[in-house]
Structure 1
Amino acid sequence: MSRALLIIDVQNDFTEGGALGVDGGAAVAQAITDYLSENPDFYDVVIASRDWHDGDNDNGGHFAAEDAAPDFVDTWPAHCVAGTEGAEYHPAIDTGLIDIHVRKGQGVPAYSIFEGTTDDGRALPVALDALGVTHVDVVGIATDYCVRASALDALGSGREVRVLRDLVAGVAAESSEAALHEIAAAGGHVEVAGRA
């Protein structure tokens, strides 16, 4: 058995003050770094995703047109544009603890880390299979969107999945709780960090 931590989209644009800032995002960034520092040998690999959108197009309709308001369901304000400060990891994330970086949403809408590619061009399932990863823990932002999609895709790939509820931040309390219930109903586990 090999275990991975998937850190989802802990980026400046998804934390307070960002283009799509989530309340509690900065605290989650710090808490993830603290958790990894306190449990240095628990994970065989730590993998982090970032939205990495193209800045010169609408990313497959993901960004609202300049003359239209985003609906916050299918269309969003421009965010996490490749190479901008908003696309970078939040400064509280210790990137030295990350083994594999995944970029997603390059020209298309993408919510799940499983829709991205690693820096060496591999799809995430290929990288996980090469490492023999059978169990994943999922943390990050936003509970009700990209954490949800990533956890469900991890389950769909046949892996055991835990979402560490004290290491996630969501857009809204009700939709975040609904996402955690959906993950549990699909066979995932929702637990508090620190439990093996």
Structure 2
Amino acid sequence: MAKALIIVDVQNDFCEGGTLAVEGGAAVAGAISEYLDANQQHFDHVVATQDWHIEPGSHFSDEPDMVDSWPPHCRARTKGAELHQDLDPEYIEAYFRKGQYTAAYSGFEGVLAPEDDVPSGDLKAGATVTEVLEEDAIGLDDWLQSHDVEEVVVVGLATDYCVKATALDAVQAGYATTVIAELTAGISDHLDEAFDDMESAGVEVERG
């Protein structure tokens, strides 16, 4: 039985200084790196997800309600979409991009990025981004299954949105799923509710 660590959306725009910053985001980036240095031997695979928006429609708004609509963030190939500098990518084996043309919270909505396309903020000002999803694009669930993964541990940002959605989808897909609370940071001041929802669905939450 293989085990995978899923690092959710530890990107510049979700950390301090970003357009949709989560308090404590940068600290989580560093803490995940330290955790991996100490525990990478316990994982067969490490993957990361990224919000990767091109034209996500009503997901972006100039007057966001911060529930279904949000300030523009994580635009594909911009600095905001890059992994935070405190997250060491050494052990990350694959990247899954989500939300290109719609809202996407769960990492299981992401598709595998090409190995030779390292996510970076190298797009020139004024240029447009076109990334058509191939019919045979590999999703996170397909990738995990092809690598015989049966157990996943989920960490990252934000606890009450993309981490929660990814963990719930992992359980739904049949994976033994754990969330390490101290390796997440959330938007709400009441994260216990998010953790309770995850536990009710069958996620094991390590609350520290």
Find the partner of 2:76 among 73, 78, 82.
Answer: 82
Taking the TM superposition and a 5 Å limit, the aligned residue runs for 1:1-196 are 1-54=1-54, 57=55, 59-64=56-61, 68-120=62-114, 121-174=137-190, 176-191=191-206
Write out the 4+ residue segments of structure 1 that deviate beyond 3 Å after TM superposition: none
Cα distance in structure 1, aligned partners of 2:31 and 2:145: 28
Cα distance in structure 2, aligned partners of 1:122 and 1:101: 11
- The count of residues paired between Structure 1 and Structure 2 equals 186
Could you give the per-residue CA deviations for residues 120-175 of structure 1, whole angstroms, max 9, x where no partner exists?
A: 4301111010011100000000000000000000000001000001100000221x
Could you give the per-residue CA deviations for residues 164-194 of structure 1, whole angstroms, max 9, x where no partner exists?
A: 01100000221x221111010111100157x
The code of the aligned residue for 2:147 comes to: L
Cα distance in structure 1, aligned partners of 2:3 and 2:28: 21
Indicate the SS of the match to 2:57: coil
Let me know the Cα RMSD of the aligned residues.
Answer: 1.1
The code of the aligned residue for 1:104 comes to: K
Indicate the SS of the match to 2:86: coil
Q: TM-score under structure 1 normalisation?
A: 0.92
Q: What's the CA shift for 1:40?
A: 2.4
Indicate the SS of the match to 1:129: helix
Cα distance in structure 1, aligned partners of 2:96 and 2:22: 21
Cα distance in structure 1, aligned partners of 2:76 and 2:90: 21
Could you give the per-residue CA deviations for residues 7-59 of structure 1, whole angstroms, max 9, x where no partner exists?
A: 000000000111010111000000000000011211000010010001xx4x1
Determine what percentage of the aligned residue pairs are the same residue: 48
Structure 2 gaps, min length 5: 115-136
The code of the aligned residue for 1:166 comes to: E
Cα distance in structure 2, aligned partners of 1:76 and 1:192: 28
Q: TM-score under structure 2 normalisation?
A: 0.87
Cα distance in structure 2, aligned partners of 1:104 and 1:183: 21
Cα distance in structure 1, aligned partners of 2:42 and 2:159: 23
